[in-house]
A and B are shown apart, each in its own frame.
Chain A
Amino acid sequence: QVQLQESGPGLAKPSQTLSLTCTVSGGSISSGSYFWSWIRQPAGKGLEWIGRISYSGTTNYNPSLKSRVSISVDKSNNQFSLKLTSVTAADTAVYYCARANWGCSGGVCFSFFDYWGHGTLVTVSS
């Protein structure tokens, strides 16, 4: 059973960099054609996809955050990480890491997040 666990500071100061790590257990981050993703959710609001990374290091980001986001992978420790620069109060949210599975068949594609971490609250405040 694959498990994901977010870790990192629960508090970030405005204008600084938010850094989180997701540790994957029960499976190798290098196996399969998965994408390892970050998703966030401000209190009382919906889910927002932040970005993803493949085991080979290919990254894609939400255009609304692209200028401030970077995601990296550490295969030796079975982890992937999120960095979000120049944070403001609007970045206060619960941050989730998740595994994305995807494929196409018969001209129709699918994508889904089958494993999620429990989430970690990051508050941006001075």
Chain B
Amino acid sequence: SSELTQDPAVSVALGQTVRITCQGDSLRNSYASWYQQRPGQAPVLVIFDKNNRPSGIPDRFSGSRSGNTASLTINGAQAEDEADYYCSSRDISGDHLEVFGGGTKLTVL
């Protein structure tokens, strides 16, 4: 099955822009979805499909894809954006199983 690779940790200064990446073969034919998880809480979908945000997700969150890499960009990071971020996609082969990246811990300085 496919794997998705994320950097374990990323930091950003308050108000600056940060990009969190996710690499994997499945991303050549599938869009990644992105989840924010704050401590003690369930994951929350922040980006899905090509670059869509669920209702209530600020427009400072955006997504993109190039080759085998998907990116989550936060423009003007806020203190409340400090969280773990996970990417996910569906395997391109076989039964199209779901897979998660290992997660990225975002610190807002």
Contact = CB atoms under 8 A, between A and B. Distances in A.
Interface of A: 37, 39, 46-49, 52, 60, 62-63, 96, 100-102, 107-114, 116-119
Interface residues of B, number: 28
A15 B42 CA distance: 28
A114 to B, nearest CB: 5
B98 A108 contact: no
Interface in B8-50: 29-31, 33, 35, 42-45, 48-50
A124 to B, nearest CB: 21
Given A47-B100, A113-B33, A114-B54, 7 more contacts: A46-B86, A49-B97, A63-B97, A96-B43, A109-B30, A110-B90, A112-B48
Contacts of B35: 47, 113
A118 B45 contact: no
A96 B44 CA distance: 12
Contacts of A108: 29-31, 50
A109 B90 contact: yes
Contact of A111 (B30, B95, B101): B30
A47 B103 contact: yes
Contacts of A107: 29
B53 to A, nearest CB: 11
A37 B98 contact: yes
B45 A112 contact: yes
A107 to B, nearest CB: 7
A110 B99 contact: no
Contact of A114 (B45, B90, B96, B100): B45
A48 B31 CA distance: 19
B68 to A, nearest CB: 13
Contact of A116 (B30, B43, B90, B95): B43
A111 B103 contact: no
